[in-house]
Amino acid sequence: MAGTRQGCVFCEVVAGERAAHLVIDAPDVVAFLDVRPLFKGHTLLVPRVHYETLTDLPGEFLGPFFDHAQRLAAAMESVLEAAGSFVAMNNRVSQSVPHLHVHVVPRNRKDGLRGFFWPRQKYESDGEAADYAARLAAGLT
């Protein structure tokens, strides 16, 4: 799924065809302010090359990509004087634009962000939890 995708809003930003407030303009990534931010400074980090999800991103690019995310998270605190940050991505489900992107959002205590997370669930037993862990671990090899 690599390359540039016609009709992709984020590919248009990367190509300079769509206006955006750029935060990072690097050879491998672009970061820009979200047009509908959770809080002012909410930034989207995207690879220049079109990859739809995290699983499509080549392994050798994971480190460099997340180095940029780490720097953005630090800037939320140092530049915007946020108490911390929220760093997240969706893969397919709830992914509003099918181009890999990481949300880096400044956070402060009692900032009013509620309902962003789904209700938590419990495993029926330790055995069920162990089964999920074993299945996932087996899928990684």
> Of the residues 42, 50, 68, 101, which is catalytic?
101
Dihedral angle sign, alpha carbons of residues 25, 31, 36, 41 = negative
CA dihedral 39, 5, 98, 37 (to 10 degrees): 10
- Strand ranges of the sheet holding 102-107, from the earlier edge strand across to the other edge: 22-25, 29-33, 43-47, 102-107, 84-88
> Any catalytic annotation for residue 42?
no
Catalytically active residues are 101
